[in-house]
Chains A and B, each alone.
Chain A
Amino acid sequence: MTHSTQEWNDVPGAVLSARDIRVTLSGKLILDGVDLDVAPGEFVGLIGANGAGKTTLLRSLLGVLKPTSGTVERPRRDARTGGVGYLPQKVALDVDAPLRARDVVALGLDGGRPGIPLHRRATRKRVDETLDAVNALSFAEQRIGEMSGGQQQRVLLAHALISDPALLLLDEPLANLDPASAYDIVTLLDRLRRTHRVAIVITAHDMNLLLPVMDRIVYLAGGRAVTGSPEAVVRSDVLTRLYGRPIRVIRAEGRVMVIADDAGIPDEVHHELPAEVAGASGSSGLSGSSGGGL
């Protein structure tokens, strides 16, 4: 993958603009010139094998990790928006920490403010509505540390959502969820980006749930990002190449299924690796935007 980033420089109205992000960690080049623009309301899936640099990219976009070079323009927090909402991949929580789900979500609203909070009824209502939106109201009074991984994930998502962010960076938010909860969260995110024009960048290994809602897929390999429409990226040949292992995409009755499959990859896939994947940026399916207004 020699030259592989997309070229929509200076996109007007983009809520996030990252240019030529390079990150070196402990002498190892992790990201080697990544560009990314995201429009308001756009739903972007970030995929790549373990260690491809997805978490590193999200942390650079958030600003907690200073890239070795490159620039990121991200939404600022102000009176109208909560800036960037972030859900990290793993959060270590102390079992006995005296904090209920409600307290954690309220911190998402005003955790940066000085002074001791005196929450008025309007604030408490907003906290409860946000917990309800992620189906977490039933354990609102529980200690955050005593919840299951999936319950914690929903509460932390509520924490990230409550401030009305313009951009959500979600690092494997579906990883611990049962299928029904995962479906509910994806539906909620899809609704938010339509009603509130929240831009979403989400990483996930299981793409099946995201396929119906994603506008665009960015995939990371070899430190580079390639972007394309879900139709262009979610193909047996492309994914097999990306993950370096057989992956099968099955389309039937308007539905798409992605399965890791050592057994049944047809031979022709191996012969037919498409030119786009090898990295030509201007070639057919893999460059340019597919929706989201860019």
Chain B
Amino acid sequence: MFEDFMVNAWEAGTIVAIIAGVVGFFVVLRGNSFLAHAVPHGAFAGAAGAVLIGVDPLIGLGVFAAGGALTISVLGRRARSDVITALSLAMMLGLGSFFLSRSSEYSAEVFSLLFGQILGVSSVQIVPMIVLGAVCLAAVGLLYRPLLIASVLPEMAPSRGVNPQIITVVFGFILACATTMSVPIVGALLMFALLVGPPAAARFVTRRPVTAIPLSVLLALVTIWASIALAYVSDWPVGFFVTAISALIYVAGRGVSALRRRVPASRNTARVEAEAVAA
């Protein structure tokens, strides 16, 4: 499974996992899972439109991802953002089905954007991935503290000079960037699973942000590496493994958290009982 054509798959999977682990940490911290669902799936419509008018699908993806994220973060300010997210997603999917109905010849290519084609990644695709991935990582690295404070304490952030509304828009762009680089490789569905499952599991295990992010990346890497290997061996779709393993990792994380909460409590009980006996 390390033949030449597989090297691209391992590389692409590794890059996607790193970006999903880092960006996903903030997706979960901000309670933005629904946004992380809407942006990749809506962006797929942009790719369908791009194929229809004969431009690079990556451009269609980028335009729809950024446009969707911007619309949701700006309109969501004055209304319930879940409602805005749902309507934007529905509109983009509607547009996508319209574009697809006009361009039946290319639909196979577009459908792969939903479920990915990681085993068929070409080395030409790796370069834009690395560029967009680097932009995402640089943006998160630069805005690490403002992102943290705006996500956890939006009411208090302004007194530290951080405008949470601006951070919401900027984070929408970061998510759009992560989506654009990864959807052609892993597909919208898998990107969504990777953005939520591993980061949500990581925060059950550690209580420090500086360890939760690397752990989230590690879990995303394990997910995608295991999925590629299992898909190669079994000939089942990668997407099945990525979604299943993401969910399993989340369940395992919850298990760890349940244990963590029970252990100290039972130790305390034991000590209290021992003291009671001694007294």
> Which residues of chain A have a CB within 8 Å of any CB of chain B?
62-64, 77, 83-88, 91, 93-94, 96-100, 103-104, 107-108, 110-117, 141-144, 156, 159-160, 163, 165
Contacts and interface: CB of A to CB of B under 8 A. Distances in A.
30 contacts: A62-B159, A77-B160, A83-B159, A84-B159, A86-B156, A88-B155, A91-B153, A91-B155, A91-B156, A94-B31, A99-B207, A99-B209, A104-B152, A107-B149, A107-B152, A108-B160, A111-B146, A111-B160, A112-B160, A113-B145, A114-B143, A114-B144, A114-B146, A115-B142, A116-B144, A116-B145, A116-B210, A117-B145, A142-B207, A165-B159
B208 interface: yes
Interface string B187-217: 0000000000000001110111111100000
A163 B203 CA distance: 28
Contacts of A156: 153, 156
Contacts, number: 103
Interface residues of B, number: 31
Contacts of A96: 203-204, 257
Contacts of A84: 159
A116 B158 CA distance: 19
Nearest to B211: A98
Given A77-B161, A107-B160, A116-B144, A98 B155 contact: no
B207 A159 contact: no
Contact of A97 (B149, B155, B160, B203): B203
Interface in B131-179: 141-146, 148-149, 152-153, 155-162
B143 A107 contact: no
Contacts of A93: 152
Main secondary structure of the interface of A (DSSP, over half): loop
B260 to A, nearest CB: 10
Contacts of A99: 148, 152, 207-209
Interface of B: 29, 31, 141-146, 148-149, 152-153, 155-162, 202-204, 206-212, 257
A107 B145 contact: yes
Given A96-B203, A98-B207, A63 B152 contact: no
Contacts of B203: 96-98
A98 B206 contact: yes
Complex A-B, nearest 10 residue pairs according to Cβ-Cβ distance, in ascending order: A111-B149, A112-B161, A88-B155, A98-B212, A98-B203, A112-B160, A111-B160, A86-B159, A143-B207, A107-B149
A142 B264 CA distance: 13
Contacts of A98: 29, 202-203, 206-209, 211-212
Contacts of A160: 156, 159
Contacts of A141: 207
Nearest to A101: B207
A79 to B, nearest CB: 13
A142 to B, nearest CB: 8
A104 B153 contact: yes
A88 B161 contact: no
B144 A115 contact: yes
Nearest to B151: A97
